[in-house]
Amino acid sequence: MIQLAKTEQCTACGACAYACPKQCITMKEDNQGLLHPAIDDTDCNSCNRCQSVCPILSPVEYASPMKAYAAWSTDAEERRTSASGGIAAEVYKAAIDEGRHIAGAKMNEDFSVSMESAKERSAITEFKNSKYVFSSAYGLFPRIKEILDANGKAVVIGLPCQIAALRKIFRDNENLLLMDVVCHGVTPSSYLQQHIKTLEEESGKKAARISFRDPALQTDTFTFSMYDEHGERFYAQRIVDGDKYQFGYHRAISYRENCYHCIFAKDKRISDATLSDYKGLGRMAPCSFNNKKVSSILVNSAKGESFIKNLIESKRIIAEERPVREPINGDPQLRHPSVKNKFRLSFEKEIKANAGDFEKAMSYVMHKFFITVYYQNHFLFLKRIVTKIKHIIRKIR
């Protein structure tokens, strides 16, 4: 009998569902809002295609990065409105100018996110910026096949697990350039949708657009904001302000279980190039600029090197070559998966007890967290006082 990846390892990339010639596999949400493949083996002929394309059961080959760059877009507005250096936007623009299709994560009207393809510059705005939520990729696979079958070319920027799935399905097709973005983990779409609905009810307004790193409030503040149909911002909070969704995401509490066991969070990569915020800039070699609005580019293949070289030579980006280990040593996600926050277990219990109700579960966890922090700070304060008193007594003696 066919056995798919274990629940705690499955990324829900959908490669198995795409590869099944009998359409025996469908992607379904459980009662906690988590997406997983489900098999109806009535028509299954045990061809094993689902297992052979699974990047968990049949891993892709990894490559050690060849070069590392600190880089940013030469377009000041592009850089301002991007999460970091605006490299993804420049990759897309260059690809379109070369006649290639582009693909990336797009937020839909219901605030779910899916991987889509396009050939127009207008799509770049939709693909730009961080989307801290699960994005479905299986709808992209047939579109990429159509493009490649017609001898077209495509550039895809996605999460490492999605890029691994594309590598398994299409192998190292010379017309397909794959770039991954460094990932901390993904939260189920239902959690975000519930959170937005709660905020809409509290404000009496309807969200038409959201942002996880609002350029209007500086992307490095990680401000979660919501805008109505008139473009007016009616909600904006950072993680430190107590936004439930940001709290769960940035403290590694509310990810899918597989994210804590991610086999792609390592210094060897599965893409042609890896993009991320540049962490650790200047730690291994002198640097004349800070890491604000600067991207890290890891070049992992000859195909990736050629494309990045063209970006530099065409003056689309400014790039300074850096020691390869610098961004890797500076970013934990380039060495290992996100580590479970100690409050993760409480969240798991609460989300199950409340049948997938994110708002109730996270409210409980946040309350528990802040009580713990309060008593820890209180204890440390008393400890400092006692230490000072002991110091005074020793002086008197």
Tens of pLDDT along 284-336? 999 999 999 999 999 999 999 999 999 999 999 999 999 999 999 999 999 99
Cβ pair 272, 300 in contact under 8 A: yes
pLDDT category, 346, cuts 50, 70, 90? very high
Q: Mean pLDDT across the stretch 180-192?
A: 96
Q: Classify 4 as helix, strand or coil.
A: coil
Q: Are strands 35-39 and 25-29 parallel, antiparallel or unpaired?
A: antiparallel
Q: What one-character DSSP code corresponds to residue 334?
A: G
What is the token pair recorded at 5? 């990846």
Read off the pTM: 0.92
Long-range contacts, 210-219 (Cβ 8 Å, 24+): 210/107, 210/111, 211/129, 212/129, 212/130, 212/131, 212/132, 212/246, 213/83, 213/129, 213/130, 215/80, 215/81, 215/82, 215/129, 219/82, 219/83, 219/84, 219/129, 219/293
- Scored b (16 or more CB within 10 A) or e, 344-379 reads bebbbebbeeeebbbbebbebbbeebeeeeeeeeee
Residue among 130, 133, 70, 115 nearest 296 (CA) = 70
Q: Classify 55 as helix, strand or coil.
A: coil
Tens of pLDDT along 22-63? 999 999 988 778 899 999 888 899 999 999 999 999 999 999
**135: Cα separation from own chain's centroid:** 9
Distant-in-sequence, close-in-space partners of 29: CB < 8 Å, separation ≥ 6: 35, 36, 190
Residue 206: other Cβ atoms inside 10 A: 11
**Per-residue pLDDT at 386 exceeds 70:** no
In angstroms, rounded to a whole number, what is the distance separating the alpha carbons of residues 198 and 190? Answer: 12
Q: Where in the chain is the domain with CATH 3.40.640?
A: 67-187+254-334
What class is the 67-187+254-334 domain? alpha beta
Cβ pair 335, 265 in contact under 8 A: yes
AA identity, residue 383:
K
The least confident of 82-86, 224-228, 325-329 is 82-86
pLDDT of amino acid 162: 98
Share of the chain above pLDDT 90, in %: 84
Helical segments of 134-291, H only: 140-149, 160-170, 189-203, 244-250
Tens of pLDDT along 104-138? 999 999 999 999 999 999 999 999 989 999 999 99
Phi first, then psi: what are they for 261, rounded to 5°?
Answer: -125, 20
AA identity, residue 171:
R
